[in-house]
Chain A
């Protein structure tokens, strides 16, 4: 075995050592993500069907409510496609957010018995939620075939849009996981936050229905830029100010991630004692 570097344990460990540790534990990260994916699809008897059914049913309800009842405009694309393109990032974000929030208490038995960089836990929970997004993308492709549409070159921007929503989910996920670890009752707030977020994001409707004066305020919600990005990439829809909205989303995402990291690191040090 090769010579090991000396480990120094003091109160308030140095940060530099930390990133080195994360690299050393990269395999554990993969194992954890792999285990959670296995569990997610083993435990549910309908398995993948659930990842497909949930956005499909939501899409049907939203189409009914917003298109048939509220008669909102569809910007020239079939309303179900408009909704589903918005559902893709939203569903991923909501699942990742909820799973990250529960991730630390779910892994309590491991955290109180073994050392590893705790950051692995919420991050792997968020990565696992990507599996559902991939399933939903397959459904999107089927919907395209059903409506006999083909995406154009904008589709090449889709990975970029996915990276953006991943960034936001990561930042928000770190925040919520640290908050739930520190405050036990915070987990009751999580579903409420997601629900409010759904109303404040243009999932069931196009963001063009939001009045001009409110639109900049509206776009402070980073999911606005993300959803517009997905719709532009998949359906070629470009509402006014989309560039700004995407830029705001990126800035908000980076802000969430950097503050989330700082807060998580602070909470992480005493995590085993809090759980």
Chain B
């Protein structure tokens, strides 16, 4: 084991306002007019007011430091704007850091997008060569892997067709196929797992696992916690440009979910009746096991003066496009002020990993007490999935799924 990536004191500053960087005027006209007006101001008033504009800066990364050993599989996670993409771009040498230094030993291939540099007018064959060269392959390397790439992408028949006639599925298959045959020592991936149909997904994941088994170093950015858990053994959690956690993957995912905790419980808890108040309704992250089809725990805590009889609790589970997937109901015969904290559990839901929302309705036989749409949200994470068909879905990264069931067949 040797160190392949060493990052020290890495910071990156972006100027939010274009004029802020002093010399980076976006238009020549602005450069001219600003230069002239500054010159005339300085002549007339001798004031130093140019510092006002340079204050608008934003540190995308602040003093990041870590080391990665050969063969490690590291997931980089964080909410939007946490600095993940900036870090990848600096590691890929697309943008320069503002401060700090990075040492990288070994050939790096970064795949921030599938099919970079594909040109619609060129044929599949021509694009394979150009895309390969862009990603850092030599001509002889491309030639020797050409057949494998074509076979992997399943585009044999269309090799000499311009890619503008390709279906979008063929397009991304070809893009991923070229990248998958890079054989670099360090592979940097940004959310590229979510390509193609389920069958091709499975193939990509298999390829990725092969690459990992060969002892190559992989850096993977993803919002999909299931694929992070599947492919990485270490996590760098970024929050507001700083490393919030660096360690094993499952702890890292839990830490990430804690950052998201505020969305797990609803804020507006006002009820329709004065004699029942709601203290808390939330998704109980701490009690949730990782894995497919584990029971989803919730907490409901009421504020009562007297006993409440026959309270019906209805949870409507929806996905990100508001499709109602599950209606879960229970009726609690009696709740007293002493037993007002209720643990709820939704077992056997068979929901695919992803983010879901809960519409909550509380009512007694006489009246409706509380109703809120998307009152809380929760994220399901699957780990160690054995079913390869399920795995392909679990790592796809879309939240439009519902329940997953095996299909039985007879002949």
Residues of B within 8 A of A189 (CB): 28
Q: Does A109 contact B (CB under 8 A)?
A: yes
The answer to whether B110 and A114 touch across the interface, beta carbons within 8 angstroms, is yes
CB contact under 8 A between A4 and B90, given known A9-B102, A183-B31, A185-B29:
no
Residues of A within 8 A of B113 (CB): 113
The answer to whether B117 and A114 touch across the interface, beta carbons within 8 angstroms, is yes
Q: Does B25 contact A (CB under 8 A)?
A: yes
The answer to whether A272 and B28 touch across the interface, beta carbons within 8 angstroms, is no
Q: Does B106 contact A (CB under 8 A)?
A: yes
Residues of A within 8 A of B139 (CB): 27, 31
Interface residues on A, range: 35 or more
Interface residues on B, range: 35 or more
Q: Does A6 contact B (CB under 8 A)?
A: yes
The answer to whether A31 and B93 touch across the interface, beta carbons within 8 angstroms, is no
Residues of A within 8 A of B89 (CB): 272
Q: Does A115 contact B (CB under 8 A)?
A: yes
The answer to whether A184 and B105 touch across the interface, beta carbons within 8 angstroms, is no
The answer to whether A9 and B93 touch across the interface, beta carbons within 8 angstroms, is yes
- Kindly identify, within residues 145 to 188 of chain A, every residue whose CB is under 8 Å from any CB belonging to chain B: 179, 182-186
The answer to whether A115 and B24 touch across the interface, beta carbons within 8 angstroms, is no
Smallest CB separation, B283 vs chain A (Å): 37
Residues of B within 8 A of A112 (CB): 94
Residues of A within 8 A of B360 (CB): none
Residues of B within 8 A of A6 (CB): 103-105
CB-CB nearest in chain A for B10: A9
The answer to whether A10 and B97 touch across the interface, beta carbons within 8 angstroms, is yes
CB contact under 8 A between A114 and B102, given known A43-B121, A185-B27:
no
How many A-B pairs fall under 8 Å by CB? 115
The answer to whether A183 and B27 touch across the interface, beta carbons within 8 angstroms, is yes
Q: Does B244 contact A (CB under 8 A)?
A: no
Residue picked from B28, B105, B126, B136, most chain A C-beta under 10 Å: B28
- Kindly identify, within residues 102 to 141 of chain B, every residue whose CB is under 8 Å from any CB belonging to chain A: 102-108, 110, 112-113, 116-117, 119, 121-122, 126, 129-130, 133-136, 138-139
The answer to whether B28 and A110 touch across the interface, beta carbons within 8 angstroms, is no
CB contact under 8 A between A109 and B185, given known A28-B133, A114-B94, A183-B27:
no
A43 and B121 CA atoms in complex are apart in Å by 8
Q: Does A49 contact B (CB under 8 A)?
A: no
Smallest CB separation, A61 vs chain B (Å): 32
Name the segment of A34-42, A52-60, A72-80, A129-137 touching the other chain: A34-42
Could you give, for residues 11-22 of chain A, a 1 whenever the CB lies within 8 Å of some chain B CB and a 0 otherwise? 111000000000
Q: Does A273 contact B (CB under 8 A)?
A: yes
**Contact pick for A110, options B27, B117, B185, CB 8 Å:** B117
Smallest CB separation, B35 vs chain A (Å): 12
The answer to whether B14 and A115 touch across the interface, beta carbons within 8 angstroms, is no
Q: Does B92 contact A (CB under 8 A)?
A: yes
A32 and B139 CA atoms in complex are apart in Å by 13
The answer to whether A42 and B98 touch across the interface, beta carbons within 8 angstroms, is no
A9 and B311 CA atoms in complex are apart in Å by 63
The answer to whether B98 and A272 touch across the interface, beta carbons within 8 angstroms, is no
The answer to whether B134 and A9 touch across the interface, beta carbons within 8 angstroms, is no
Q: Does B197 contact A (CB under 8 A)?
A: no
A9 and B99 CA atoms in complex are apart in Å by 10
A111 and B107 CA atoms in complex are apart in Å by 19
Q: Does B373 contact A (CB under 8 A)?
A: no
Smallest CB separation, B21 vs chain A (Å): 9
Residues of A within 8 A of B106 (CB): 4
Could you give, for residues 21-65 of chain B, a 1 whenever the CB lies within 8 Å of some chain A CB and a 0 otherwise? 000111111010000000000000000000000000000000000
Q: Does A244 contact B (CB under 8 A)?
A: no
A116 and B113 CA atoms in complex are apart in Å by 16
Residues of B within 8 A of A115 (CB): 92-94, 110
CB-CB nearest in chain A for B28: A183
CB contact under 8 A between A272 and B94, given known A39-B122, A182-B24, A183-B27:
yes
A76 and B69 CA atoms in complex are apart in Å by 76
Smallest CB separation, B346 vs chain A (Å): 42
CB-CB nearest in chain A for B162: A42
The answer to whether A35 and B26 touch across the interface, beta carbons within 8 angstroms, is no
Residues of B within 8 A of A28 (CB): 133-134
The answer to whether A183 and B25 touch across the interface, beta carbons within 8 angstroms, is yes
CB contact under 8 A between A27 and B24, given known A38-B126, A270-B96:
no
A189 and B28 CA atoms in complex are apart in Å by 10
The answer to whether A270 and B95 touch across the interface, beta carbons within 8 angstroms, is yes
A38 and B129 CA atoms in complex are apart in Å by 13
A110 and B103 CA atoms in complex are apart in Å by 24
The answer to whether B122 and A9 touch across the interface, beta carbons within 8 angstroms, is no
A117 and B126 CA atoms in complex are apart in Å by 22
**Contact pick for A35, options B28, B96, B130, B135, CB 8 Å:** B130
- Kindly identify, within residues 182 to 200 of chain A, every residue whose CB is under 8 Å from any CB belonging to chain B: 182-186, 189
Residue picked from A6, A27, A110, A114, most chain B C-beta under 10 Å: A114
The answer to whether B90 and A273 touch across the interface, beta carbons within 8 angstroms, is no
CB-CB nearest in chain A for B25: A183
Could you give, for residues 258-271 of chain A, a 1 whenever the CB lies within 8 Å of some chain B CB and a 0 otherwise? 00000000000110
Contacts A6-B103, A9-B104, A182-B25 known; list 7 others, CB within 8 Å: A4-B105, A7-B104, A12-B96, A32-B130, A43-B121, A114-B117, A274-B24
Q: List 12 A-B contacts (CB under 8 A).
A: A4-B185, A6-B104, A8-B101, A8-B103, A11-B99, A39-B121, A114-B94, A115-B110, A179-B28, A183-B25, A184-B26, A274-B24
Q: Which residues of A contact B (CB under 8 A)?
A: 1, 4, 6-13, 27-28, 31-32, 35, 38-39, 42-43, 109-116, 179, 182-186, 189, 269-270, 272-274
